[in-house]
Amino acid sequence: MSDENAVEARAARKIYGQGAGAVTALDGVSLLIRKGEFFTLLGPSGCGKTTLLKLIAGFESPTEGQILLDGTDITYDPPNRRPVNTVFQSYALFPHLTVADNIGFGLRMQGRPKREVADTVARMLALVRLEAMADRKPGQLSGGQQQRVALARALAPSPKVLLLDEPLSALDLQLRKEMQVELKRLQVETGITFVFVTHDQEEALTMSDRIGVMQAGRLLQVGDPRAIYTRPANRFVASFIGESNFLTGTRDGDTLALGAGPRLTATAMDGAPASGPVTAAIRPEQVRIVQGGGEGIPATVVRSVYFGTDTHAVVALTDGTEITVRMQSPASGDAGLAPGQEVRLTFEPGALIVLPEVA
């Protein structure tokens, strides 16, 4: 089992400060990161994802718990003794060294032969397509180029795990999209385990093999992007990744009763109460609006907003609960929804998820 996992955190807890001023940054996180996967730690700022990254890098040691690399306990090894490298948010390139010397820094510190350093640097420059910039100083490069140097520098010593601390946050949107593709390509080409930290859910969904969602020092859910999106483990995950409509009702087996109103078919997540009051979630794009009678849940249109490809409509159920519906805009651009209009809502079975918390 242990040879399948690149990184393992066992009940890692990190508390900053002491006494009344103590802050729990990480509240007992256990996590397995598999070899060769692109793993993303996703969460809002202050959720502890960067702290977890620092524990893996060795810049901090946990107050309690263990960190294992390839099955070996590295909890108290200093960063320079760990075969783990980091791409920093600010890049932290050495301003006095050329691009080539920056990339070769780790290898030189390891005391590798000059020949090997030169060969690896040349290979890395080619990998990030910066051959022409080898003799420039970091100050003469654009943000995207600096980013690629930082990547090459961290990849050059062939670490077992590459840690990336929100590396794309300083780039503009266009460049960020390009670098997302580039990062994914590098990960596939090198086969190195990537642990990527971000607060951008779209970035996490498009790049990752698996995602760990964190909040308030806890790991809430780990899974592949589809599982995280379609089967959120709780209300926080459902609202942080994509948008969700939340409905409260009473569960009875596979059905959910909304007040005195309609009974809906719902899929329950693990840990959801078998009966009684519950919260359920449904994605805006999973709801369909049917005009002119027929099957479905009765609702009234509150407003509709045109977004180009999409049209967002807000409708109110009979009990007053507002639901956002996202639909593709028709060719005419006008979805034909007027405020006050009576419509019916339908959705596929399995779209409505009962969450594991009591309403």
Partner 1 sequence: MSGDPQQAAAARRGWLLSAPALLLLAVGATGPLAIMLVYSFLEPGDYGNVEWALSFEAWFNVILNRDIFDGTLSFADAHLSIFWRSAKLALLTTLFAFVVGFPTAWFIATRNAGARTALLFLITIPFWTNLLIRTFAINQIIRNEGFLNTFLLWIGAIDQPIVMLYTDFAVFLGMTYVYLPLMVLPLFAAIDRFDMALLQAGYDLYASRWQILRHVIVPVVKPGIIAGSILVFIPALGAYVTPRILGGGRNMMIGNFIELQFGQGRNWPLGAALSVVLLVLVSAALIVYTRFATGGDKPHG
Interaction site with partner 1 (CB under 8 A):
57-59, 78-80, 84-86, 88, 90, 92-98, 100-101, 104-106, 108-110, 114, 117-118, 121, 153-154, 157
Beta bridge partners of 263: 257
Judged by CB, which is closer to partner 1: 94, or 306? 94
- Give min distance, CB of 47 to partner 1, in A: 21
With respect to partner 1, which residue has the nearer C-beta, 80 or 174? 80
Classify 15 as helix, strand or coil: strand
Beginning with the edge strand found earlier in the chain, give each strand of the sheet holding 255-257 in spatial order. Answer: 263-265, 255-257, 245-252, 275-282, 353-358, 267-268
Q: What is the DSSP pairing of strand 297-306 with strand 193-198?
A: unpaired
* Shortest distance in whole angstroms from residue 232 CB to partner 1: 34
Find the shortest distance in angstroms from Cβ 148 to partner 1. Answer: 16
Residue 260 CB, nearest distance to partner 1 (Å)? 60
- Whichever of 116 and 202 has its CB closer to partner 1, that residue is 116
Minimum distance from CB of 187 to partner 1 (Å)? 19
Residue 99 or residue 214: which is nearer to partner 1 going by CB?
99
Choose among 114, 107, 191: nearest CA to 154. Answer: 107
Residue 293 CA: distances (Å) to CA of 24, 286, 289, 331, 348:
54, 19, 11, 23, 18
Instruction: Supply 167's token pair.
Output: 């590396």
Which of residues 152 and 258 has its CB atom nearest to partner 1 in the complex? Answer: 152
Round to whole Å and give the CA distance between 323 and 286: 11
